[in-house]
Structure 1
C-alpha cells in the first residue's frame, strides 16, 4: 500500500497590473476552505464499495474517494457513538472523563460550557458553525433536559451557532427534533415527558404489545412504541413534535442544504451527523428493498444518497473547490443491535468490517477502523493513503488548516495530522493510537506501527464475530498482534514477543494516566 500521494499546492499566484504602468501587486492569499464533516453511524470499513464491498454499491462515497484520499488506516477513537463524538469535538480521549459512555435519553450535557471544541476553534477563526443530525451527547444542566423549555446547555454553548438535532439516538426516546434550544413543533397543551419507568401500569410497551410491532425487538428495545417500533425508555405527549423514522435522512439533507445556502458567502463548518445505519433501521420507502442485505443494506444506500445530495449542493453553489469534505463513521459495524431486521439472516458473503475482526463495542480493529475519506477539489491530489489518522485528530488538524492557534491545555489528545489529511507527500499521520470501547470496562486497543496490543480488563470481548448475534467471548487480559502479517487479529503472538508487549503495556498505561509514551 502506498504512502499518501503528493499534495498539489493550494496557492496559485495571481499577477495583477494597474492601468497606470502595469505594476505587479502581491499574490492573493488563498481562503481557508469551508469544512463539512460527514459522520455515519455504525458504518463498517467493509460496508462501502470503494473499500471492497460487492453486495451493494455506494457510488457517491466512491466518487468522493476517487476525487480525494481514501485512507486505509483511518480510525474513530471508540467503538461506540457517544465517546467517539465526545472525542471528535473536544480532542480529548473520552476515557479521561467520567460519564462519556452511551448517553441515556435524559442525560445532561456531557460537554460542559466553556470547553474548547472543534466548533469553538473554528468559530474563533471566523467560521459559521452548525450541526445537523444525531447529537447523543446530552442536553441541559445536571437535572437533564427540560423538554418543554430551553434545552441548554447544548451545542450552542460549546461553539455551534445553530443546530438541528435528533437529541439522543433513534432507538432511545423521544422521537422529536430539536432546533437550537427548543423541541420543534411542540404544543404546550401536550407537554413532553421522558422517563426511564413506565408512566402507568397499563402503558403499552414493546412487551405488552409485541404482536402489533412493525419491527420486533431482539433485546432491550421494548419500552415506548412509536411508529410501530418500541424503543429504549418511555415518553408521553409531544405528539405534534414527533417524526417518522422514514423521514430522518431527508430532513438531515434538507436542513444541511439550508445551512450551506445561508452561509455560502462566508466560511462555514458543518457537522453532518447521520443516523444511518444505526437501529432501528427504517429507511425511506424509496430505499426499501434496494439491496439484498435487508434494511441494514438499504440504510447504507440511503446514507450514500445523503452524501451525494450534499455534493450536488456544493456543485450547484460552485463551492466544491472551496470546501474540504471529510467522511467518517463513529464506530464499526453491528448487525443485530436490538431489532430483528434481517441483518444477520441476509448478510450472505458481505463482511461489514472487511477483512477485520470485531465491530461496534469491540477493541478489535473492526470496532474502530472505519471508512475515512478527505476531498478538497483542486487542492488534494487523489489517491490512497496508509497514514494513521483518527477522528480525535480533526480538532488540531482543522485548526492548523485554517490557521487558528490552539490555546494551551485544550484538545490534548488531538494530533495535527493536517499534512496527511491534505495529502502532503510522505506524511505518516500520528505515530500511535489508543482505541477504547464504551469506556466502562477498561478495554483498550493500542496501536503503534505494525503492533497492536489489546487489553481486556474483564477477560471478555464483545461482538468479535459481527455476523453472529451479539455475545461475549472469553479472551486473555492481554493479547499482541502483528497487523502487517495478521490484520484480522487471529494469532496472539504475545509469548513470542514479550519485550514488545511489556513496552506497549507500559506505554498504554502512561497514556491512560495522561503522560506521553
Structure 2
C-alpha cells in the first residue's frame, strides 16, 4: 500500500471513529426542562426545611437529584431575573429593565442570543409556556388585537403559550405565538394606564371583589379581582385564575408528548406563588397558610404533572430538569389573602433575612434543584451558582457554542450543575431589581453597598437592605444578616467594595462567553 492510500485509510478510520463519537454524543444530549417558580422562597419546599407545606413531588426530584444550598437568582424581582437567566447578561447593566409595565415593549430584542436560540440552533425544539413578563411588541405599546411581536418567537422559541405580563396585571388573556387566544375580532383588546371608559374598578366596586386589595391592585376588575392597569375588550377570552395551572400544565404536557424524535427545551414559567393567589379549588385548604401555601402545593402538583408526562413518554431518564425561582418570597404583595396572618411557624426564606425586593440573602438565594438520572448522582452542593450561568452551562451540556460576545456574564458551570465538581463561582452579585444598588457574596462574606432608598417598602412590609452606610455580614456565623460588622472589618469592606466596583465597571462585550474564574 502506498503512503497516499495508507494516509487515506487512516483518515477514513479517524472519520468513522470521530463521527461515531459525535453521533453518540448527540444521542446522549439531554432534553432540558427549566421549571421557574414565581416568588417562592428558599424555605418553601419540604426538601429545604418546610414542615407545614407538603411538596412531595419536588422533594422526590431533590432526593434523586442535586440540591443546591447556594443557588441564586440574579435579582430580587421578576423581570430582571428572567432577563438574566434567558440571556446570560446581568439586567442591571442597562437602565429600563425593571419590572415591566402592562404595555412594556420587548426587553430582549430580536437577534439577542438566549438559552432558547442557542439550543434551537443546536437542533432542539424550544417552547415557552407560562409567565413571560419581559415585554412584548414595540413602543408605544403592543398591538394587542393584532400580531403581538416581537416576543418569545423572535428570541429563539419555536412556540409559546404565555401570560403576557403577570397575573396581577392586565391584559388578563393568554397569547399563543403572536396572537391572543380566543379573541373575538368584534371585541378587540386594548390596555391603558388610566381608565379610558369609566369602567368599574377595584376602588368603585370594592365591596364586590372576591379578593380584596391592600395596595395598588385596584384598577380593572377581572374574575372578581382588581389588577394593575386598565383593560378593555376581550370579554370572551379573559382567563379564570383558578384554571391557570391546569391550562399551563396542559400545554406543557402536549408539547412534551409531541416531541419524541428530537431533543427539546421547555421553559415552564409558573405563576405560583405570585399574587393574586387563587389556586384551583382542589388545592384550597391543603395547607394551614391560606392561598399562598395552597398555591405552593399547586405548584408541586404542576411539577408532578410534567414529571409524569416525561416518565410516560420514556423521556425522564435523559431529561435535565432544573427547578428554581425568580426571586425570594413575599407575603403581602398587594392583596388581603391572609398570607401574613396565617404564616404561623413557616419561614418562606428559611434561615435568611428579607425576600422579594431585598438585597438580603432571602431576596435572591432560592431553591435550586437539578434532576437528570442519566448523569447526576443524588446529593447536595454548597457551590455558588447563579441563574446567569444557566445559558453557558446548558450550551456546554448540549455540546454547542454561544455566539461571540453573547452571554458575557454567564459562566460555564456545567460540571458544577451536574455535580461533577464542587467548585462554583468565586462570588455572586445580588440585585434588588428596584434600583441600581448591588450586593456581593464571596465565600462567607457578604457586602451590601449603601443606598438611600427606604429600608422597608410601604404597604408590603418588605425589607430592602437599603442603608446609608456600608453593611458587611459573615454568613458562616450570622446567616440571618443581623450583625453588621463593617466597622470592625474595614479591610474586608474595602476589598469587596473594590471587587463590586470592578464588576460594575467591566464591559461585558470585552468578556468572552462564559467569563473567567472570577465570574466576569
User: TM-score, normalised on structure 2?
Assistant: 0.91
Shift of 1:463: 6.2
CA distance in 2, matches of 1:472, 1:112: 30
Aligned to 1:368: 364
Q: Secondary structure at the match of 1:396?
A: helix
Contact 1:196 1:234 in 2 (8 A): yes
Which one is further off, 450-459 or 368-377? 450-459
Is 1:61 aligned to 2:58, yes or no? Answer: yes
Aligned CA RMSD, in angstroms, stands at: 1.7
Query: What's the secondary structure of 1:286's corresponding residue?
Result: helix
- 1:473 is displaced (CA, Å) by 7.2
Following TM superposition, by how much is the alpha carbon of 1:335 offset from its aligned partner in structure 2, in angstroms?
A: 0.1
Q: Give the match's secondary structure for 1:321.
A: coil
The answer to whether 1:437 aligns with 2:459 is no
Does residue 254 in structure 1 map to residue 250 in structure 2?
Answer: yes
Partner of 2:476: 484
Q: Does 2:267 align with 1:271?
A: yes
Pairs within 5 Å for 1:184-195: 184-195=181-192
2: CA distance between counterparts of 1:431 and 1:94? 20
Give the corresponding residue for 1:50: 47
Distance 1:163 1:145 in 2: 17
1:420-463 CA-partner distances (Å, limit 9, x unpaired):
111104x2111111110114x22211011111101232154346
What stretches of structure 2 of length at least 5 have no aligned partner?
1-18, 508-517
Which whole-Å deviations, capped at 9, do the CAs of 1:3-22 have from their partners, x for residues lacking one?
Answer: xxxxxxxxxxxxxxxxxxxx
Shift of 1:472: 6.4
SS at structure 1 position matched to 2:455: strand
**1:16 corresponds to which residue?**
none
Using the alignment, how far apart are the partners of 1:369 and 1:422 within structure 2? 19
- SS across alignment from 1:326: strand
Deviation at 1:144, TM superposition (A): 2.0
Rounded to whole Å, the distance in 2 between the matches of 1:288 and 1:415 is 41
SS of 1:435's equivalent? Answer: strand
Please give the residue correspondences for 1:199-348 in structure 2 after superposition, counting only pairs within 5 Å.
Answer: 199-200=196-197, 202-348=198-344
- Where 2:236 maps in the other structure, the secondary structure is helix
Offset of residue 124 of structure 1:
1.1
Partner of 2:85: 88
What is the TM-score when the length of structure 1 is the normalising length?
0.92
Deviation for aligned residue 1:262: 1.2
Number of matched pairs = 488
- Of 443, 446, 450, which residue of structure 1 is paired with 2:444? 450
Give the corresponding residue for 1:34. Answer: 31
What secondary structure is seen at the aligned counterpart in 1 of 2:287?
coil
List aligned pairs for 1:339-418, cutoff 5 A: 339-418=335-414
Deviations 1:468-509 (A, max 9, x none): 834667634320111111111111111111111101111111
2:74 is equivalent to residue 77 of structure 1: yes
Identify the structure with the greater helix proportion. 2
Distance 1:115 1:462, change over 3 A: farther
Q: 1:316 to 1:155 in 2, by over 3 A?
A: same
Q: CA deviation at 1:403?
A: 1.2
Q: Which runs of 5+ in 1 are unaligned?
A: 1-24
SS at match of 1:320: coil
- Residues 360 and 465, structure 2, Cα contact 8 Å, conserved in 1: no
